[in-house]
Chains A and B, each alone.
Chain A
Amino acid sequence: MSVLEPLVLLAIVVMAITTALMRVGGFWLMGRVPLTPRVRRMLESLPGAIVAAIVLPVIAKIGVVAALAVAAAAAAMVVRRNELLAVAIGVGVAILARATGL
């Protein structure tokens, strides 16, 4: 059992501080770097870059079920701008695809 003893508390606090430093560090650092057009373009590429870097390896790992789910959600999002609907459709497609043995 992991109960709340001093070393456990220390472990959690150390991880929490590390995580918080990551969350504030990038913003802080960019305040000390000149925001040239090039840097700005790099920052503007980040949302798509992060999502692609998270999503594609997961698809590669899980396989065709994940690819179908993501494609279905993206299509749903194009038709109707509704994230919840898109997620429901994506997950639904994954469940259906697995039910058919994919």
Chain B
Amino acid sequence: MSEARPREPLKWTAAGLVAGARMAVPAMPVMALFSMAFGAYAAQKDFTLSVATLMTTLMFAGASQFVAVDIWIHPMTGPTIVTLALVAATVNLRFFLIGASLRPWLGGLPAWKIYPALVVLTEPGWLMALRYREEGGSDTAIVLGSGFVLWLVWIAGTVAGFLIGAAVADPQRYGLDVILPVFFTALLVPMWRGTRAAVPWAVAGVAALVAAWVLPGGWYIIIGTIAGAIAGGMQDERA
């Protein structure tokens, strides 16, 4: 994310929305498979289609939805709602950092142009937006465009998975358990800027491995990421 190219002034156009939607196409199959797996899982766990669809529509955060379904109880109680809120906060804490990383690029925009895009932001949309920016792109509407269509895919996939059910409920059978790491790695490859810039990545990976080993739940993602960011901050300025 070096300032390699001269930047055009930022804009936010309808054409950018369309370009964002088009940019999101490679992420759609992965999103669809994941949301289908969630729909199937919710069906298995005795959710009604309306509850599963509402959750998927309002949250749009796969990992936390799976955990929520896991600890869900019928009938729902107040204390469980508190637990669910804590799960949503911790599992989705990484979005806090993801949003933070967009500040240098999008900080100058009026709130109504950026906050809707943040609400439908996911890792794939974020990584693709950063690459677009790095390649000199200046239309910030792509963030909303890609987030919005991926959100629609997410909802449709949940409904489809709920109805199809068992066929997608066994992720390991079709290699679906590796699809997320595979996809995220693929999105990261174009961001490779040599070994020096990758030192923070390595720090993050090692810290996450250690944290995953000693801590329960999904804390390793946050701990690893923060360790990597600190390592990045400590590197001295060099070309």
> Number of contacts between A and B (CB, 8 Å)?
310
| Inter-chain contacts of A69 with B (CB < 8 A) | 175, 178, 181-182
B92 touching A18 by the CB < 8 A rule?
yes
B80 touching A27 by the CB < 8 A rule?
no
B181 touching A59 by the CB < 8 A rule?
yes
Q: Is A100 an interface residue (CB 8 A)?
A: no
A41 touching B232 by the CB < 8 A rule?
yes
A14-54: which have CB < 8 Å to B? Answer: 14-16, 18-20, 22-31, 35, 37-54
Question: In the complex the two chains form, what is the Cα distance from A36 to B209 in whole Å?
Answer: 30
Task: Give the residue of B186, B205, B233 whose beta carbon is less than 8 angstroms from that of A38.
Answer: B233
* Residues of chain A having any CB pair with chain B under 8 Å: 1-5, 7-16, 18-20, 22-31, 35, 37-62, 65-66, 69-70, 73-74, 76-78, 81-84, 86-87, 90-92, 94-95, 98
B68 touching A15 by the CB < 8 A rule?
yes
Q: A11-B84, A19-B88 are in contact. Are A46 and B98 (CB under 8 A)?
A: yes
* Residues of chain B having any CB pair with chain A under 8 Å: 1, 26-27, 29-30, 46-48, 50-51, 54-55, 58-61, 64, 68, 72, 74-78, 80-81, 84-85, 87-89, 92-104, 106-107, 114-115, 118-119, 121, 123, 126-127, 130, 172, 174-191, 197-198, 200-209, 212, 220-225, 227-233, 235, 237
